[in-house]
A and B are shown apart, each in its own frame.
Chain A
């Protein structure tokens, strides 16, 4: 009997539950898809390095899954509470008919179990089919072939999904039991009467609150948008909290002002259904200030996370080409007890082992970095220290840091090897190369005054007023923080320090390349071991990197951030969309008599549809607009933080992000609009 009632209840309120169910299904599916990555990629023929990366990805995803589960759990609790409130009258009827609270709780339990099982089954089916697509995506990311592909179902992911969602559903059940246990018949019966009151907030209070919160928001924007060098964790936290609180009050005051502002324009307010539309909207916004705030912040996080992830993903692969144009890079540095560089020579250590660099490489260049104790970073900055401190915060403790120099001939040899433009200098000129954004601008600023330098007793003047955008050490990222290029004649051999070798393997196809890589690595490793065995260890730093390694890292990092970004983004967007959709749809159901009345008054169907569209559109747009504004400044900070990692432009990632947002959030909007229209059309 109980089962029958609850089944018919679900069927009856299918419209209300549709969005809830749909969201649960998506939640389950997304959860499964991301947790099944390990199984989905097991068949892929990837290298050990890449396997390690996938393993790390899987670990990261399961860590994030806990967070995701909490977000989804909150969403489900919110949605179920919301749906329960709408059924107060029904519960009141049951109670009046003499049903005990236990029975009603049991009824709800029945419903939750049915919806839970239903959503898990449908969601897992959807997830299993989507995860097959995921296999292809991963294979594509790691450039692995799909020859061994077969249809896979991840038992562990299914178990995990069922456990996580089972816990959420149990929480929902307990919660609804508690709510039913606490409620009183009289409040249930009068529950729909309370909403009739219309509260108008004090306009001037709203205006004042709006101005204050706008100012607070401006302050938070200023903190993250400018002076990022100066932005410690404390200030960042202040900015975040200020921003979040200000967001809440912005919505609070806009809810109060929106209507007043439109009302004051009589021509607009009394045009067509505008008065009705904006009243509806205003009451909706007024009762959802808190949810609006949460939605706005989640959208903001989504936009920032997704676009940052896409920036990293997009620029990583290209960057390896741009910043790691050779197969191998090795560096040996020997420092004295004051941390100052001493002369090192890779060749010597290789020869000690009976090894020759020529054997490992088809072409290579070995060179030294020069330093002059009298030519330090602080010395070069000179009296501009104050200005740099103002613009970028502190310059740090680098009083005795010597500037690194490279001979022009070495530099040009490198450029030839890398495939970049060579440089010509007069005997009394120098130039600076750098790729790290922050340093490039600092050097540009310093070079404005054409400061002369003195190295090894030679006076040199700048070749040009601009920093050269290039690098000496290959790397995955643009992290060259500045090296001085000086004419060979200006260099004294006593200043030679760190020894660097870059080169290309003598290999054509993929297999030969792998062979050459293994060879070069082995030889380097042997040399390194020997150096440390001979107790040269104090102050000795040995470091190498290869292009293959860098490319793998790039793919791995790209894949990692893409997956995590998409995972979090999906869940956030779904949550935002679901909350708004639930609110809007239930509101439409409540407003049904109003629309019926409008029809009786002879309002065109087209006008009614327009009104519904306007209501849903503004309701969905409000948090998105503020989130976009937040993101503009958030991404300013993001860009700054990313600038040490990548150099890509933001345009394409932003388009990607917009695409994902439009797809999911817009999808929910469309669903809501169509659903609302169907609801208010019902009684014809």
Chain B
């Protein structure tokens, strides 16, 4: 049974006279332990799709199943509970609480689940070690570099051991070195901890760390490639080929 299953998902904006089909009939499945990247040019609808999966936005039609829950049917408290317990978010602009230290930011995700202080401490230290941020735990976001901030945000996303980690352009605000470091951490989490990650990006390099890439154009699924036994470099070349095929201009691809 797949972990995530999208069935004819549609998302429309606007009214009858000017209708924008941001997501137009997309279906696919994600297995547990997969590291999926969704690629597409600006405005292709990839972020909208992620927002629908993350329940931040609602679909116009279609169904999204996580395990056996239809998340398009969730409302109010159940929705919050689902978001809190099943999902982990990583945003382009980190979205860290600037008033809290790194430790407290990570702990917050646990404390809103009403975990005990002892559990929290253990979990935070554990995840900090995995992501290599133990030494910045007592720092505030403004004292950290972009890469550190994003790793703290990632730690906050995975500390609750969610079923699915959703990342929206996680490397968007990072320099290439920090981006590489973060993505290697993602691979590590994916391989060693069997974490299921779904990442939206327009950057081929970032996407090449995934095990599978979905391409979206004008709200539709355009192509899909799997890494299989390829090295990351070979996979990257393959991605570039598809991007060229997609017709997105060079700046979009890089």
Contacts and interface: CB of A to CB of B under 8 A. Distances in A.
Q: Do A and B bind each other?
A: yes
B99 A267 contact: no
Nearest to B156: A601
B53 to A, nearest CB: 13
A266 B103 CA distance: 13
B97 A604 contact: no
A594 interface: yes
Given A270-B107, A276-B108, A600 B114 contact: no
Contact of B114 (A266, A271, A601): A271
What is the predominant secondary structure among interface residues of chain A facing chain B? helix
Contact of B84 (A274, A275, A594, A602): A602
Nearest to A279: B99
B112 A272 contact: yes
Contacts of B97: 276, 279, 594, 597
Contacts of A607: 112
A270 B95 contact: no
Given A275-B104, A279-B99, A607-B112, A601 B142 contact: no
Interface residue tally on A, bucketed by range: 20 to 34
Interface string A571-604: 0000000000000000000000110011011111
A280 interface: yes
A497 B83 CA distance: 94
Contact of B89 (A269, A274, A593, A601): A601
Nearest to B76: A605
Interface stretch (B115-123, B170-178, B197-205): B115-123
B85 interface: yes
Interface in A248-294: 266-267, 269-276, 279-280, 283
Contacts of A267: 116-117
Contacts of A280: 99
A604 B98 contact: no
B99 A283 contact: yes
Contacts of A197: 142
A598 B142 CA distance: 19
Contact of B110 (A270, A274, A603): A270
Contacts of A601: 83-84, 89, 108-109, 112
Contacts of B77: 604
Contacts of A602: 80-85, 87, 112
A451 to B, nearest CB: 69
A594 B98 CA distance: 8
A48 interface: no
Task: Select the residue from A267, A271, A273, A275 with max chain B CB neighbours within 10 A.
Answer: A275
B223 interface: no
A274 B77 CA distance: 20
B26 interface: no
Contacts of A597: 95, 97
A598 B100 CA distance: 13
A196 interface: yes
B83 A276 contact: no
21 contacts: A196-B98, A196-B142, A198-B140, A198-B142, A266-B121, A270-B107, A273-B111, A275-B100, A275-B107, A279-B100, A280-B99, A593-B95, A594-B99, A597-B95, A597-B97, A600-B89, A601-B108, A602-B82, A602-B85, A603-B112, A607-B112
Interface of B: 54, 56, 77, 80-85, 87, 89, 91, 95, 97-100, 104, 107-112, 114-118, 120-121, 140, 142
Interface of A: 196-198, 266-267, 269-276, 279-280, 283, 593-594, 597-598, 600-605, 607
